[in-house]
Amino acid sequence: MDFDFTAAQEAFRKDVRAWLEANVPDDLRGRAFAASRADREEVRQLRAWQKRMYGAGYVGMDWPPAFGGRGASIVEQIILYQEMAQAESPQFVNRGGLSMLGPTLMRHGTPAQQARFLPGILTADELWCQGFSEPNAGSDLANLQTRAVREGDTFVVNGQKVWTSMAHVADWCFLLVRTDAAAPKHKGISFLLVDMRTPGITVRPLRQITGEAEFNEVFFDNVRVPVDNLVGKLNEGWSVAITTLAYERDLLTFIRHISLRNALRRLVRLTKERGRSGDPVVRQKVAHLWIGEQALQLNGYRSLTKILRGGQPGPEGSTAKLFWSQVDQELAEVATEVLGPSSQIAHGSPWAADEGQWEFYALLARASGIRAGTSEILKNILAERVLGLPKD
């Protein structure tokens, strides 16, 4: 494999770098690795940032031109992510739309759904949330109980979702519902696109360990959804959801990698600033993180290559998600160790390092082994579907 870039690719890198240098807003650069999606004002800024990047041609670069993308190669996509990390740009705010729903619609959506929804995902004019988990359906997602009953041209939805990130700021939700209660649990599920402004939807924020409320409970009380918003066939939503989850574990991990790189750069800076870079144990830990980050990146390139060549993310995407969560949590621990007791000083205090982002990062990292599939579940998937071991 040739890791050298061609002259044209280096020219592209130069252009991206110059553009990012001139355009990443200073206040977002400061929040590069722990940008919040709880605060409405910050979400507004992040939306504007994604839109600006889209205007410059840097969002959905790998999407086919027919869907509003540039049909760019894997290499340009990689260069973009590298340069976003280098410039301390935050990740795209509409990442659920970009990395999960977009690819799902390209594969399972009707031409009308693709034309209606893909542009708003790219520009972040329409933010999406993922309505999958329920109080009794997390790891065992197929156990979901939110029901949808067809009445004329609409489905009437009743039930509850939980842990729905960004539901409080989202315009739309991709929602899993049960449409046939009598069928075996994986068979009677459908995939709907729901306007979050529809009457009957109540969003209640849940406060997290970080102190913020970035995820929510969402209640559906006789919510009417047009039948045109059904993605895939009725009662066959499970296979649509599997596509979404595979992209979540694979592609989304790749996008999250921008934040991880940003955090690692900051950690190196922090280690030097705190006079800890001469400590052999700290040096070893930082070097170990660096190796992990590089391995994650190269694995990400492999998956991305497969996807851009027309393949689909497979169960091996679970490796990326699992390993990312481990490196992420290890990084938070090393930063906490380097900072010592002051690692607990939060945003708002003049004594907080990097404006309190480390305190936030350390707490947020607890969720890395839960969201997008817990580590135990991912290990089961790898054992059964990649290694071919007996079923759980």
Ligand X SMILES: Cc1cc2nc3c(=O)[nH]c(=O)nc-3n(C[C@H](O)[C@H](O)[C@H](O)COP(=O)(O)OP(=O)(O)OC[C@H]3O[C@@H](n4cnc5c(N)ncnc54)[C@H](O)[C@@H]3O)c2cc1C
Between CA 319 and CA 378 the distance in angstroms is 8
Cα gap 211→132, rounded to integer Å: 24
The answer to whether residues 289 and 331 touch, using CB atoms and an 8 Å cutoff, is: yes
φ and ψ of 273, to 5 deg: -60, -35
Of 151, 221, 228, 376, the one binding ligand X by CB under 6 A: 376
When CB distances to ligand X are compared, the closest residue is 138
| Candidate ranges 4-12, 129-137, 282-290, 293-301; the one touching ligand X (CB under 6 A) | 129-137
Strands of the chain, DSSP E:
128-131, 147-151, 154-165, 172-178, 189-195, 201-206, 215-226, 230-231
315 near ligand X, judged by CB under 6 A: no
The answer to whether the CB of 211 falls within 8 A of the CB of 346 is yes
x/- map, 201-240, ligand X, by CB under 6 A: --------------x-------------------------
Q: How far is the CB of 376 from ligand X (least distance, A)?
A: 3
Interface with ligand X by CB under 6 A: which range of 144-152, 197-205, 289-297, 369-377?
369-377
Task: Kindly state whether residue 154 participates in binding ligand X, applying the rule CB under 6 A.
Answer: no
| 134 catalytic residue (yes or no) | no
The smaller minimum CB distance to ligand X, of residues 344 and 375, is found at 375
Out of 146, 165, 244, 357, name the contact with ligand X by CB under 6 A. Answer: 165
Indicate the residue among 317 and 373 with the shorter CB distance to ligand X.
Answer: 373
Candidates 142-150, 246-254, 256-264, 374-382; binding stretch for ligand X (CB under 6 A): 374-382
Compose the 85-124 pattern: x for residues touching ligand X by CB under 6 A, - for all others: ----------------------------------------
The separation between CA 32 and the C-alpha centre of its own chain, rounded to angstroms, equals 15
CB of 141 to ligand X, least distance (A): 7
Burial status of residue 61 (CB atoms within 10 A of its CB: 0-12, 13-18, 19 or more): middle
Among 87, 362, 367, 381, binds ligand X (CB under 6 A): 367
CA 83 to chain centre: 19
Beta bridge pairs of residue 191: 176, 231
Q: How far is the CB of 97 from ligand X (least distance, A)?
A: 12
Minimal distance, residue 172 CB to ligand X, in Å = 13
The interface region with ligand X, picked from 41-49, 85-93, 158-166, 291-299 by CB under 6 A, is 158-166
Total site size for ligand X, rule CB under 6 A: 19
Residues 6+ apart with CB under 8 A from 27: 45
Catalytic residue among 42, 83, 134, 248: 248
Nearest to 365 by CA among 321, 323, 318, 333: 333
Which CA distances in Å does 314 have to 23, 62, 101, 306, 317? Answer: 36, 18, 17, 10, 6
Which residue stretches of 172-279 are H helix?
A: 237-247, 253-273
Distance linking the first and last C-alpha atoms of the chain: 37
The piece of 7-15, 19-27, 163-171, 261-269 that touches ligand X (CB under 6 A) is 163-171
By C-beta, is 93 or 338 nearer to ligand X? 93
Q: Does 164 bind ligand X (CB under 6 A)?
A: yes
Question: Between the CA of residue 216 and those of 44, 212, 290, what are the distances in Å?
Answer: 18, 11, 34
Which residues of this protein are in contact with ligand X, per CB under 6 A? 129-130, 132-133, 138-139, 163-165, 215, 367, 370-371, 373-374, 376-377, 380, 392
Catalytic residue annotation: 248
